[in-house]
Amino acid sequence: MIEAKILIYDGSFNGFLTAVFKTFDERIEVADIQKNSEAQRGLFSDTETVFTQMDKAKRVWNGIQKKSNSAIKNVYFAFLSEHKGIEMLLYRYIRKLFSPTDMMHLNFSDDTVLKIDQLTKSVGREKHRMEAFVRFQLTQDGIYFANIEPDFDVLPLISKHFRSRYADQQWMIYDVKRKYGIFYDLDSVEIVSLDIKEVYANSIHKNDTFSGIEYDYQDLWNNYFKSTNIKSRINRKLHTQHVPKRYWKYLSEKKQAV
């Protein structure tokens, strides 16, 4: 009897794909796939650490992409959801994708396929909200800074949008929940980690990190928003559906409401 293994990886997407490659290549019976930061040894399972290998990760990526463009999006978006147990959920999804049954990954009567689809849509919605609700503030160093705290790890998904929209400015978007950010230096986007206390751009309380003129612009924008807002026509329920309150602390026009 083959003993099922728990595969431990470094927490990266490429690390996960490397683990998936190993399961197919060595025909491993998998008990679980876990991040090294969250690993728990199974009582009756052997544990093995999988080291990220880009060539193997790429082979899995290319294999999924050849099967379906929608499937590769589903795999990546669902992975970024950070849903508990997402690794095994995706592992089962990928096995179905490579099964002899054609288009099995589109069978929404299957619980695994349905759950991956739901997670993909949730991450997609959060991506679009971040692209709409991010507000930059100019720092003393001439860098436009914004911080976010999304439900899912969407920074890798929004960098292309902001690089295209603000190609002539240096900017940084920092995820205070996951403690890393993306920085654009007019040439490329890099992942950065900062040892800083949480600083909210657009806060009503001024901070020396940011340029004084930025607060003047925020006040102008806030006053404009209030002057054009017709109270008798406010539909607060509809408004909070489109702009949930958890995003208000990032919006210049909402800073006095937070």
Q: Which residues pair with 174 in a beta bridge?
A: 147, 181
**Strand duo 144-148 + 46-49: pairing:** unpaired
Contacts of 88 (CB under 8 A, 6+ apart): 30, 32, 33
| Cα distances (Å, whole numbers) of residue 17 to 80, 112, 166, 168 | 13, 18, 32, 35
d(CA 163, CA 29): 43
- For each of the chain's 258 residues, which pLDDT tens digit applies? 567 899 999 999 999 999 999 999 999 999 999 999 887 765 556 889 999 999 999 999 999 999 888 999 999 999 999 999 999 999 999 999 988 765 666 677 889 999 999 999 999 999 999 998 888 888 888 888 988 899 999 999 999 999 999 999 999 999 989 999 999 999 999 999 876 655 554 444 455 555 444 444 455 445 544 555 555 555 555 445 555 666 656 655 555 444
pLDDT of the residue at 248: 59
| Cα distances (Å, whole numbers) of residue 110 to 37, 102, 103, 149, 172 | 30, 14, 12, 32, 41
pTM: 0.79
What does DSSP assign to residue 2? P
